[in-house]
């Protein structure tokens, strides 16, 4: 595909298509937005005149000019649609959670390799301003040997989601597969897969039918990483807490990209992804004064830059299928640990 425009189609045009994918495909000069599969509401042509509203996935897959398919449908459908797209000789982007279990993830990876196609797992939270700042601190080693890290995704909203596929029990429902992949991926990206995990899940909202709170403990030889998420945190603590033998770093979750995209702003300009000074993290190293650390700029566009460079043969996927599979291995172990109330050991993939 060297030196060609990547013609791309979305498998839905709800919030994720409108906010996380279409603006970046439209802005990047290496991509062409073909359109989206729209089942009921027909909205994409209002935002992008000239693109197509497809009546079915078959219509997209039958078009030989489409190079890349974005699987941004409910989690339970990821495997089915990703499989179909690969079998139609398309490259694919698949949102989190990559699949509903490890077996599906490994099957997709094997199929893609057999067809010389690329899978890109959409883990955009690696490109949040707050997380990029945390990664810079970890990479710099200023805290010394890390002893404990906590990563949280806190909300205060006891209402059930209007998206029923998130609330009705099924293979893609619940907070572990909704918010969990963000935190699990961030931890694995920083520290690699853990040796073992322990998980505690709860149902806390009125009339909920699915898990809506989790605490997951990652065990490494000399480090413990705690991942937590839930819906009843009116005064949330810092979302990133890193404690090492030389000091601590605390950081609130403050990336503005999603809220700016929801407001209709385009992902461009010098101030894109910039946090306010009030949201800068706190670094306190032993023997030194506590200081504020300026945040890195958030950069969701990097994901699509990497897709473009990979399909031009100049790079490897930022989040390849096997990293998506590592996340699914942990999620499978989370449910096993919760049910058995025991620590689960993980094998190397």
pLDDT per residue as tens digits for the range 324-346: 999 999 999 999 999 999 999 99
Mean of the per-residue pLDDT values for the chain?
96
Cα–Cα distance between 349 and 347 in angstroms, integer? Answer: 6
End-to-end CA distance of the chain: 30
Residue 97 has pLDDT above 80, yes or no: yes
6-123+303-317: CATH topology is Rossmann fold (3.40.50)
Total-model pTM: 0.95
Q: What three-state secondary structure class fits 147?
A: strand
Instruction: Check: CB of residue 77 under 8 Å from CB of residue 57.
Output: no
Three-state SS at 285:
strand
Angle between helices 129-140 and 180-191 (to 10 degrees): 20
* Fold entry, domain 125-298+330-345: Dihydrodipicolinate Reductase; domain 2 (3.30.360)
Convert the pLDDT of each residue in 127-177 to its tens digit.
999 999 999 999 999 999 999 999 999 989 888 888 888 888 888 889 999
Number of other residues whose CB lies within 10 A of the CB of residue 204: 13
152 CB-near residues (< 8 Å, 6+ apart): 183, 227, 228, 229, 236, 237, 238, 239, 240, 253
The residues, any chain, with a CB within 8 Å of residue 208's CB and separated by 6 or more, are: 160, 167
Whether 6-123+303-317 and 125-298+330-345 share one fold: the answer is no
Q: CB–CB of 56/62 below 8 Å?
A: no
For residue 283, count CB atoms less than 10 angstroms from its CB and return exposed for 0-12, middle for 13-18, buried for 19 or more: buried
DSSP string, 217-237: EEE-SS-EEEEEEESB-SSPP
Q: Residue ranges per domain, the chain? A: 6-123+303-317, 125-298+330-345
If pLDDT is split at 50, 70 and 90, which confidence band does 1 have? low
Contact 75, 171 (CB under 8 A): yes
pLDDT of the residue at 168: 87
| Widest Cα–Cα separation across the chain | 64
β-pair type (224-230, 213-219): antiparallel
Query: pLDDT, tens digit, for every residue of 278-322?
Result: 999 999 999 999 999 999 999 999 999 999 999 999 999 999 999
pLDDT at site 3: 55
| Bridge-based pairing state of the strands 196-202 and 344-345 | antiparallel
Query: Which candidate, 116, 216, 207, 128, places its Cα nearest to that of 168?
Result: 207
Contact 122, 69 (CB under 8 A): no
């Amino acid at each position: 595909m060297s030196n060609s425009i990547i013609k791309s189609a979305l498998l839905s045009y709800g919030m994720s298509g409108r906010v996380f994918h279409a603006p970046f495909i439209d802005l990047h000069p290496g991509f062409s937005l073909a359109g989206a599969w729209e089942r009921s509401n027909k909205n994409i042509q209002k935002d992008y005149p000239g693109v197509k509203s497809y009546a079915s996935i078959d219509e997209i897959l039958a078009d030989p000019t489409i190079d890349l398919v974005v699987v941004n449908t409910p989690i339970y459908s990821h495997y089915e649609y990703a499989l179909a797209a690969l079998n139609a000789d398309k490259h694919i982007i698949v949102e989190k959670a990559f699949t509903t279990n490890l077996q599906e993830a490994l099957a997709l990876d094997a199929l893609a390799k057999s067809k010389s196609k690329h899978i890109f797992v959409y883990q955009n939270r690696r490109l949040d301003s707050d997380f990029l700042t945390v990664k810079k601190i970890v990479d710099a080693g200023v805290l010394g040997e890390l002893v404990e890290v906590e990563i949280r995704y806190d909300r205060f909203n006891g209402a059930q989601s209007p998206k029923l596929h998130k609330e009705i029990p099924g293979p893609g429902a619940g907070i572990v597969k909704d918010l969990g992949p963000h935190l699990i991926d961030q931890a694995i990206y920083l520290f690699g897969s853990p040796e073992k995990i322990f998980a505690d899940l709860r149902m806390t909202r009125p009339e909920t039918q699915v898990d809506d709170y989790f605490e997951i403990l990652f065990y490494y030889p000399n480090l413990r990483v705690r991942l937590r998420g839930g819906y009843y945190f009116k005064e949330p603590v810092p979302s990133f807490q890193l404690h090492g033998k030389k000091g601590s770093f605390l950081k609130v979750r403050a990336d503005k990209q999603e809220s700016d995209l929801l407001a209709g702003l385009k992902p461009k300009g010098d101030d894109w992804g910039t946090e306010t000074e009030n949201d800068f993290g706190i670094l306190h190293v032993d023997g030194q004064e506590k200081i504020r650390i300026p945040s890195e700029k958030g950069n969701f566009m990097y994901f699509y830059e990497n897709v473009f460079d990979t399909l031009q043969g100049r790079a490897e996927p930022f989040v390849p299928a096997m990293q998506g599979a590592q996340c699914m291995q942990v999620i499978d172990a989370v449910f096993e640990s919760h049910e058995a109330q025991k620590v689960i050991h993980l094998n190397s993939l």
